[in-house]
Amino acid sequence: MIVILNGFEHEVAPNTNLADLVAKVSRAETGIAVAVNDEVVPRHAWSATPLSSGARIEVLTAVQGG
Amino acid sequence: MNYAPLVEPAAELSINEVRRYSRHLIIPEVGMSGQKRLKSAKVLCVGAGGLGSPALMYLAAAGVGTLGIVEFDTVDESNLQRQIIHGQSDIGRSKAQSARDSVYEINPLTEVVLHEVRLDVTNVEEIFSQYDLIVDGTDNFATRYLVNDACVLLNKPYVWGSIYRFDGQASVFWSAHGPCYRCLYPEPPPPGMVPSCAEGGVLGVLCASIGSIQVTEAIKLLMGIGEPLVGRLMIYDALEMSYRTIKIRKDPQCPICSPNATQTELLPDYEAFCGTISQEAMAAAQESTISVRTLKTMIDSGANMVLIDVREPNEFEILRIPGSILVPKQEILNGTALASLPQTKQIVLYCKSGARSAECLAVIKSAGFSDAVHVGGGVLAWAREIDPSLPTY
């Protein structure tokens, strides 16, 4: 199925959960925040968050600059 | 949701003040009462750099009565591309003093308090307790986590912003009413994965885009008007020219701000928490950090590599990644172990969380092992993500 990852269409296998997707697309699990449909999902809930077709997923990286 | 104003109004405004702030006073939502609140407000800016510059200038111009500045650095020529509170003649001066002079030039009615120290666990609470609200303009993760934790413990609103190249993020973390920084980013990224502005650059004017959001939020909170960014993350993309917000909820498992918080005081060492490392290590790790999942795949596929644990023997005893050999960091840093490293296998380094292995990586790469990598997050990430049955320490 297709989800929208950081604004682009992205093919994922059916029954993919958020943790699976993050593991595929991010080099690390810390220092990032992940939002599904404009709401942040805490890291401990990623594996219990199923993805549905068309879901908008945003992987944000913490930046330190000021 | 509306919030009560953060501060009580000052008794009165002088004739000079009424003249100066007239464009505020005629806004119905501000009025005399809002302006008097700004007058009695005490706002602390951590850092007088990229974000601190516009923040301090607009907070001063707006009529905030007391502005604190935490800054220990001096003005460098490379700051002037974005740190507009400083000028050419300030190069080499104390940033705190340079910022104070600019603030007085903008608004002599402002009282400026300088804290010319490096913020740390020994002074943060004493400094923060003197202020109503904290504006964060720091440039490193360690200070950001320190500021967050101190704000949670002291129940201060934390007006946060961060910037990199063309992208900015801003929010208000206020644990009494919503999430904190750790609800969004529970832990910093592995050392070396996210470059600082000094390494990756930043569009100068981005500081104004994000700093002005921070000032707007500070003013709203002080006056108790509008809808603050509590529970929302503002994401700004200068190339797309888009602002949007996403929701952040308070994490029921947040280690510091949830009802089940496991951390009830400041951490002993925020540099260690963030695995702060040298510039050389940061550069070495930039393109040569692999995740524990990648490592697992390499191990499972029988990759031609040698996995080296650079921790101390007692740590190696507690837990290790299967198939690894122990070469303590010091033997790599002083060069004694270099001769025994295999030339024909890829070297993969790891430590507890990724800081020490990054230091070793810099040495090993400069010794000619150009394909060497280290494992982001170290053995703790391995225990967390690959084999949760392992003990951690």
Q: Domain B15-274 sits in which CATH superfamily?
A: NAD(P)-binding Rossmann-like Domain (3.40.50.720)
ipTM for the predicted complex: 0.96
Going through chain B in order, the beta strands assigned E by DSSP cover 42-46, 66-70, 111-115, 133-136, 158-164, 167-173, 232-237, 242-247, 289-290, 305-309, 325-326, 346-350, 373-375
Query: What topology is assigned to B279-385 in CATH?
Result: Oxidized Rhodanese; domain 1 (3.40.250)
CB B313 within 8 A of CB B326: yes
For A62, the closest of B138, B189, B293 (CB atoms) is B189
pTM for the model: 0.80
Q: CA B58, B60, B65: angle at the middle one, nearest 5? A: 140
The answer regarding whether domain A2-61 maps to CATH 3.10.20.30 reads: yes
B328 close to B311: Cβ distance less than 8 angstroms: yes
SS3 B169: strand
Q: Which residues of B359-388 are buried (b: 16+ CB within 10 A; e: fewer)?
A: bbbbbbbeeebeebbbbbbbbbbbbbbbee
pLDDT digits (tens, 9 = 90+) for B169-223: 999 999 999 999 999 999 888 766 677 777 788 999 999 999 999 999 999 999 9
Length of chain A: 66
Catalogue the active-site residues of B.
Answer: 197, 351
- Indicate the pLDDT class of residue A4, thresholds 50, 70 and 90: very high
Tell me how many degrees the CA angle A29-B327-B347 measures, rounded to the nearest 5. Answer: 60
Beta carbons of A63 and B381 less than 8 Å apart: no
DSSP string covering B297-335: HHHHTT-SEEEEE-S-HHHHHH---TT-EE--HHHHHTS
| Neighboring chain A residues of B49 at a CB cutoff of 8 Å | 66
Q: Which residues lie below 8 Å from residue B323, measured CB to CB, with a gap of 6+?
A: B299, B307
B213–chain A Cβ distance below 8 A for any pair: no
Which residues in chain A touch residue B197, judged by CB atoms under 8 angstroms apart?
A: 65-66
Number of residues that this document lists for chain B? 393
- Per DSSP, chain B holds a count of helices (H) and strands (E) of 17, 13
For A30, name the nearest residue in chain B, comparing CA atoms only. B189
The answer to whether B256 touches B149, Cβ cutoff 8 Å, is yes
Residue A63 to chain B, least CA–CA distance (Å): 6
| Confidence band, pLDDT 50/70/90 cuts, at residue A49 | very high
pLDDT at A17: 95
Could you tell me which of B344, B345, B352, B354 has the C-alpha nearest to residue B375? B354
Do B188 and B274 meet the contact criterion of CB atoms below 8 Å apart? yes
Q: Could you say which of B50, B246, B251 has the minimum Cβ distance to residue A39?
A: B246
- Cβ B183 vs Cβ B149: under 8 Å: no
Grouping H, G, I as helix, E, B as strand and the rest as coil, residue B367 is coil
Measured between CA atoms, how close is A1 to chain B, in angstroms? 24
The reply to whether residue A42 touches residue B189, judged by beta carbons under 8 angstroms, is: no
DSSP structure class, residue A37: T
- Which residues from chain B sit within 8 angstroms of residue A66, using beta carbons? 47, 49-52, 136-139, 161-163, 197
Distance CA B381, CA B122 (A): 30
- Strand A2-5 to A56-61 pairing: parallel
Query: Can you tell me the distance from the alpha carbon of A64 to that of B139, in angstroms, rounded to the nearest whole number?
Result: 5
Q: What is the C-alpha radius of gyration for chain A, rounded to an integer number of angstroms?
A: 11
Instruction: Give dist(CA B83, CA B99) in Å, integer.
Output: 10
Q: Is B290 on the interface with A (CB under 8 A)?
A: yes
**Which residue is closest to A26 within chain B, CA to CA?**
B291
One pLDDT digit (tens) per residue for chain B, 393 residues: 678 999 999 999 999 999 999 999 999 999 999 999 999 999 999 999 999 999 999 999 999 999 999 999 999 999 999 999 999 999 999 999 999 999 999 999 999 999 999 999 999 999 999 999 999 999 999 999 999 999 999 999 999 999 999 999 999 999 999 999 999 999 888 766 677 777 788 999 999 999 999 999 999 999 999 999 999 999 999 999 999 999 999 999 999 999 989 899 999 889 878 877 777 888 888 889 999 999 999 999 999 999 999 998 988 999 999 999 999 998 998 889 999 999 999 999 999 988 889 989 999 999 999 999 999 999 999 998 999 999 887
Q: Is B158 helix (H, G, I), strand (E, B) or coil?
A: strand
Task: Report pLDDT for B1.
Answer: 66
